[in-house]
Amino acid sequence: MTENPEHQASYAPSAEFAAAANAGAELAELAAADRLAFWAEQADRLHWEQRWTDVLDWSGAPVARWFVGGRLNVAYNCVDRHVDDGHGEQVAIHWEGEPGDSRDITYAELRDEVSRAANYLTELGLEAGDRVAIYMPMIPEAIVAILASARLGLTHSVVFAGFSPSALRQRVDDASARLVITTDGQWRRGKAAPLKEAVDEALYANGDVPHSVEHVLVVRRTGIEVPWTDGRDLWWHETVANADPHHEPRAFDAEHPLFILYTSGTTGKPKGILHTSGGYLTQAAYTHHYVFDHKPGQDVYWCTADIGWVTGHSYIVYGPLANRATQVVYEGTPNFPDEHRHWQIVEKYGVSIYYTAPTLIRTFMKWGRQIPDAHDLSSLRVLGSVGEPINPEAWRWYRTVIGSGKTPIVDTWWQTETGAIMISPLPGVTAAKPGAAQTPLPGVSAQVVDEEGNPVVLGETEANGYLVLDQPWPSMLRGVWGDDERFRETYWARYADRGWYFAGDGARLDPDGDLWVLGRVDDVMNVSGHRISTAEVESALVGHSGVAEAAVVGATDETTGQGIVAFVILTATTENTGDALVNELKAEVSREISPIARPREIHVVPELPKTRSGKIMRRLLRDVAEGRELGDTSTLVDPSVFEQIRADKA
Ligand code: WT7
């Protein structure tokens, strides 16, 4: 408690923490000595029905096969295994509902619930390889639905419950899902918002053109009225709840598809990132164990993500449960009924590991330290950050105010595509630098390189370049669902001759060789840790009859990292009604994509800056949006468009 947080460039773990840590310096040495043997050892932390013959087959690059010939059941590993080992009475989930209801679920209870759901999904005729869409808020049944799918070898596609009906429809269609699992509604700041209704809207969209969905399975959460289609729609409490709680899990190939998760790319169409079973679970469990220093049966772990994102998949469902964690799952928003909610939950359950996003930390800072200071947070011993670069100021506040000036902070860099954490300090090893993800984890290999693939040179000054992953890793994506071309083009074409994965992030190495992630170098925005493509928002805007053209950029935002700023040209017959029109356009984007994609600002402009070849110069628009002097305008067709854009902004 004596450290002065203002004046430290790095924060070494205490001797006490280091002595008891899961990971010591030897972990990196082991991995360096024999990378594949190291990963085999990590895979051995799981239960395999049949052992693999080869650790890695990279002959089909860029599609890897890890733990070739191995067979396992992912859900067995996350649930039954712990019951069989005598931990059935351990709480798996301390669930906290937004209205204040709560539920503790032990591993034995979780096994029964997952088995019931698996039995019922089987009764519905679902078979291994079929796709199931899960469109649910943060309730235990969502985790049960995910695990039941995994248990049966069904490939789940979780769609964030904040997404619009049309976003859901797009994902259901792309994966040809046979079943949608949802709820009647969801609690949001004390109100029950309909969800089943959104599913109906999605499935009847476009004049009810044929789609793949046979059934909609509905959990009753809020008790609100729902539209109902007899024969197609089924209540969870009338079906799953009455099913047999015994179910024999069957082993699947290590490369059996586990899930698809859609994420934004540089076009308007989201990419279905495909993950498989053995390698994914190995790395999710490995990273959760070492990066968070998780001790089963002792720690109380809380990841504040939503299951709709990859963080929820890897660090609420698969990683923690594979490691027999006791974890908090919270349904609602951090300020309901007031801003004390998270710290009350930490106090109530004695949370020891807390993993959240920089945008939320900055929000806590705005609310003021008197709020966390009103609570006993002494149970916390490891803090994590994910989703975007964390600014040093927020890092120090997190450590000082939330971590009583002593907890290690792990700034974890990874992506939907990487499946699990790739670059992060190890809490008992690394002297952490505020703002830096620092070091590839043992077993992971990354580089910062220039356009040609030459490593940036460490010198007196910092070296900037592109972040690449130059060796395959177990939890890597195995493809983009239904679009092999896009998979190769997006990630592997840039450094094709070297066989490297291009992450889409800029990074720099400091003179100590520590890695700092700088953010996306493509047309992808990061708003509150959510990945949103400029193209998607543009396409929602031009979907409005009054808009002829739209250009969207991410502008630096103090709280959300980036904010969405749109520039639109109206059609000749559209009248500019000022705020009324702007609000209508913002609402249109919320409706089309999700409230998370709602632009912070929309400017109606007469012209957009374009190159001679017709490409919108987003870089210049970003300068305008951030109020900077204009950069190079030499390739611009008509530099005077900026006078007009600026005049409008003012
Ligand atoms: C993008 C991936 C990883 C789960 C949540 C987001 C950015 C993520 C960090 C970090 C700097 C980060 C990157 C990355 N990002 N973590 N610790 N430091 N940037 O997953 O939606 O797939 O987004 O988030 O730009 O490419 P995602």
- pLDDT tens digit sequence for 153-194: 999 999 999 999 999 999 999 999 999 999 999 999 999 999
* Beta carbon of 310 within 6 Å of any ligand 1 atom: yes
Runs of H (alpha helix) within 91-179: 107-123, 140-152, 165-175
Classify 263 as helix, strand or coil: strand
Strand partners, 603: 567
CA distance 316 to 303: 6
Nearest to 286 by CA among 251, 252, 320, 326: 320
Rounded distance from Cα 590 to ligand 1 centre (Å): 23
Amino acid residing at 143: I
Is the minimum distance from the CB of 421 to ligand 1 under 6 angstroms? no
Q: Residue 648 has what pLDDT?
A: 65
Q: Helices marked H in 68-130 — which ranges?
A: 74-75, 81-82, 107-123
With a 6 Å cutoff on the Cβ, whether 505 touches ligand 1 is yes
Tokens (6 digits) for 648: 């409008």
First to last CA, the chain: 47
311 lines ligand 1 (CB under 6 A): yes
* Separation of alpha carbons 553 and 599, rounded Å: 10
Residue numbers of the chain with a pLDDT score lower than 50: 1-2, 5
| Among candidate residues 258, 240, 251, the one with its CA nearest the CA of residue 119 | 240
The residue among 437, 77, 479 whose CA lies nearest residue 278 is: 77
Cβ atoms of 287 and 31 within 8 Å: the answer is: no
Between the CA of 492 and the centroid of ligand 1 the distance, in Å, is 19
The protein residue with its alpha carbon nearest to ligand 1, atom 5, reads 387
For ligand 1, atom 2: residue with the closest CA: 415
SS3 220: coil
To test the ligand 1 pocket, which listed residue (415, 430, 525) has its Cβ within 8 A of the most ligand atoms?
Answer: 415
Residues at the binding site for CoA are 188-191, 311, 335, 528
Output b/e per residue, 330-366; b: 16+ Cβ within 10 A.
bbbebebeebbbbbebbbebebbbbbbbbbbbbbbee
Residues 6+ apart with CB under 8 A from 3: 11, 405, 406
**Rounded-to-integer distance, Cα 622 and Cα 565, Å:** 8
For residue 571, report the distance from its CA to the centre of ligand 1, in Å: 37
d(CA 562, CA 581): 23
Distances (CA, A) of 429 to 319, 436, 510: 21, 15, 19
Cα atoms in the Cβ-side hemisphere of radius 13 Å centred on 471: 17
Q: Which DSSP helix (H) or strand (E) runs through 623?
A: helix 618-625
pLDDT at position 2 is: 46
Structural domains of the chain sorted by starting position, each given as residue range(s) with its CATH number in brackets: 48-288 (3.40.50.12780), 446-520 (2.30.38.10), 526-649 (3.30.300.30)
The two tokens of residue 21 are: 């840590």
Q: CA-to-CA distance for 39 and 282, rounded, in angstroms? A: 8
Strand partners, 263: 271
Q: Is residue 304 lining ligand 1, measured as CB closer than 6 Å?
A: no
Q: Which helix (H) or strand (E) holds 330?
A: strand 326-330
Q: Which amino acid, one-letter code, is at 128?
A: A
**Per-residue pLDDT, 1:** 42
H helix intervals, 561-601: 579-592
Residues within the annotated binding site for ATP?
387-389, 411-416, 505, 520, 531
Measured distance CA(328)–CA(324) in Å, rounded:
13
Residue among 386, 516, 525, 596 to mutate when testing ligand 1 (max atoms within 8 A of CB) = 386
For ligand 1, whether the C-beta of 355 sits within 6 Å is no
Reported residue count of the chain is 650
Residues contributing to the annotated binding site: 188-191, 311, 335, 387-389, 411-416, 505, 520, 528, 531, 542, 544, 547
For residue 513, what are the CA distances in angstroms to 204, 361, 468, 500, 518? Answer: 54, 27, 15, 20, 15
Tell how far the Cα of 427 is from the centroid of ligand 1, in angstroms.
Answer: 19
Structure tokens at 123: 């009764």
Give me 143's structure tokens. Answer: 């985790």
In the chain, the amino acid numbered 66 is: W
- Atom nearest to 413 CA in ligand 1: 17
The C-alpha atoms of residue 184 and residue 193 are separated, in whole angstroms, by 9
- Say which amino acid occupies 116: R
410, 291 in Cβ contact below 8 A? yes
| Binding site, annotated residues for Mg(2+) | 542, 544, 547
CA atoms of 108 and 84, how far apart (whole Å): 9
| CB distance 142 to 161 below 8 Å | no
Q: Is the CB of 623 under 6 A from ligand 1?
A: no
Say yes or no: CB of residue 528 within 6 Å of ligand 1: no
Q: Pick from 635, 631, 591: which is nearest to 612 by CA?
A: 635
Q: Which residue has the least CA distance to atom 18 on ligand 1?
A: 389
Q: Are 203 and 234 in contact (CB under 8 A)?
A: no
Instruction: Output the CA 295–ligand 1 centroid distance in Å.
Output: 26
Task: List beta partners, residue 466.
Answer: 449, 506
**388 CB near ligand 1 (under 6 Å):** yes
Q: What are the structure tokens assigned to 600, written together? A: 């912070």
Beta carbons of 527 and 566 less than 8 angstroms apart? no
